[in-house]
Amino acid sequence: MTEFLDFLPPDWRLGWEFRWRDMIDIACMAFVVYQAYIRFRGTQAARIGVGLAVLGLFYFLASQAGLFLTTWVLGGIWAAAFILVVVVFQAEIRQILEQVNPVLSTPKMFRRTSAETWVADFLVTIAETCFSLAKKRRGAILVFERNDPVEPLLRSQGVLIDAAVSDLLLDNLFTPSSPLHDGAVYFRAGRVCRAGCILPLSESRSLPYTYGTRHRAALGITERSDALSVVVSEERGEVSVVDRGGMVTLPESAGLLTWLNLRLSGTRKRRTHWRWRDMLKTNIRPKLGALAAVCVLWLILVGPQNTEVGFAVPVVYYNIPRHLDMAGKNTQEVYLRVRGSRELLALLDPRGLRAQVDLSSARAGRSRLPLTERDINVPLGLQVAGMDPASVSVRLKERPSPPQQSDQNGPARQTS
């Protein structure tokens, strides 16, 4: 495939050579960054990670400006802080990494969708049960997953239920004597997925003092995803609904049924027929942010391929035929010019470079073999700008036959 920037005038290219391999590289890294974001967002490790990223940005700017002391101090702080985060948050990081399922299909890796079986009976049962619990003064939290995956955001995943919704099941789960009554019930695909889940708390300081931990948890999960929450107050006997951080108290079950039906039925209609366009539009801001971050990193490390350095590298010959030996003066080293970004060239160790020549098809006598980029073990992101000489001269001779075996009392005996 030809270069993507060939249509630009030479003065506009600025030394960039954007190839199809670079496009695949950026796409893969953007996918990894997005998956890490949706699994780590809302956690303390994610907030500290943003601080480390800002620290790394200042480190890069200081190094480009030639501030030696600042670069040295920031580099030491960044390395120590990164190790500290891994040690302090190892349990949280391990829990999130365990949730990564390699068997998920590509659409589910971009957006975990639910089976679209939102029926009226399911919503009616939820609405009636919530107000029944409110009359009994039993606290409850119900979380409904829509497009964003909720499971990675849970502080504790509770107990797997995976059962159909019924009023008896919900009443038993929120009975004060039940060991799961203090946690949230998590709904996915119109079924009770998990119970006893611990949700992330909202850090908003504008909440009324009358709101307790249940209301802060219901707000917290909606601030980090597009999930819906229904919270039943144990003290006031009220039913409140939360969507994207906004809380509203409803007076009756009919209002709750209408509220849930409007939001969950709309999700079902959008997900009836899955399309690539729908997958790309979901969570568009985090996806564009991940793509932009990877593009900036690519431009810093790989983009400008306008710096060249030269090295004298040794020539290594391999796959020499068994019946041949090297003889005479052969090319021992070549002068190699490597082109790439200054950042990658600064990390290059010239002692590891080799010009490797395959002699499997060589014959006896003097011959000259051309050198190509494939014969040089240049790291990814760097290119071979030139070689001097462009070919190697090698001389091979026939290896002498081994001496024949002979008896002690007679001439050599030939064996067939």
Does residue 129 have a pLDDT over 60? Answer: yes
Does residue 197 have a pLDDT over 70? Answer: yes
Omega of the bond leading into 152 within 30 degrees of 0 (cis): no
Across 69-95, average pLDDT? 73
Lowest mean pLDDT among 77-81, 122-126, 353-357: 77-81
Lowest mean pLDDT among 46-50, 191-195, 213-217, 264-268: 264-268
Comparing 100 with 65, the larger pLDDT belongs to: 65
Q: What architecture is the 307-398 domain classified under in CATH?
A: Beta Complex (2.170)
List, in order, residues 6 or more apart from 326 with CB less than 8 Å away: 317, 320, 394, 395, 396, 397
Does residue 230 have a pLDDT over 90? Answer: yes
pLDDT in tens, 14-48: 445 566 777 888 888 888 888 777 766 655 666 67
**What is the identity of the amino acid at 390?**
A
Does residue 142 have a pLDDT over 90? Answer: yes
Q: Do 218 and 228 meet the contact criterion of CB atoms below 8 Å apart?
A: no
List, in order, residues 6 or more apart from 300 with CB less than 8 Å away: 60, 341, 343
Lowest mean pLDDT among 106-110, 239-243, 306-310: 106-110
Lowest mean pLDDT among 11-15, 87-91, 215-219: 11-15
120-272: in CATH 3.40.1700.10 = yes
What pLDDT shows up at residue 231?
A: 92
Does residue 9 have a pLDDT over 90? Answer: no
pLDDT in tens, 341-380: 776 777 788 888 888 888 888 888 888 888 888 888 888 7
Phi/psi region, residue 365 (left: phi>0; alpha: psi -120 to 50; beta: rest), is left
Comparing 40 with 233, the larger pLDDT belongs to: 233
Across 195-214, average pLDDT? 82
Across 96-123, average pLDDT? 52
Does residue 117 have a pLDDT over 50? Answer: no
Does residue 1 have a pLDDT over 70? Answer: no
Question: At 295, is the pLDDT very low, low, confident or very high (cuts 50, 70, 90)?
Answer: confident
Quote the percentage of the chain above a pLDDT of 90. Answer: 7
Question: At 154, is the pLDDT very low, low, confident or very high (cuts 50, 70, 90)?
Answer: confident
Across 190-203, average pLDDT? 88
Rounded to two decimals, the pTM is 0.46
Same CATH topology for 120-272 and 307-398: the answer is no
What pLDDT shows up at residue 406?
A: 53
List, in order, residues 6 or more apart from 398 with CB less than 8 Å away: 323, 324, 325, 364
Of 207, 277, 219, 271, the residue nearest 244 (C-alpha): 219
- Beta strands (DSSP E) in 174-306 are 184-188, 191-197, 228-232, 239-243, 246-250
H or E element, residue 317: strand 307-318
Does residue 59 have a pLDDT over 90? Answer: no
What is the spatial distance between Cα 142 and Cα 106, in angstroms, rounded to a whole number?
29
CA quadruple 115, 153, 34, 76: dihedral, nearest 10: -170
The domain ranges of the chain are 10-110+278-301, 120-272, 307-398
Across 62-87, average pLDDT? 78
Question: Does residue 211 sit in helix, strand or coil?
Answer: coil
Does residue 147 have a pLDDT over 50? Answer: yes
3-state SS, 326-368, equals ECCCCCCEEEEEEEECHHHHHHCCHHHCCEEEECCCCCCEEEE
Q: How deeply is 220 buried, as exposed, middle or buried, from its count of CB atoms within 10 A (0-12, 13-18, 19+)? A: buried
Of 193, 168, 196, the residue nearest 180 (C-alpha): 196
What pLDDT shows up at residue 93?
A: 63
Of 325, 316, 381, 319, the residue nearest 348 (C-alpha): 381
What pLDDT shows up at residue 416?
A: 39
What pLDDT shows up at residue 271?
A: 45
Q: Say how far residue 125 (Cα) sits from the centre of its chain.
A: 39
**What is the identity of the amino acid at 416?**
S
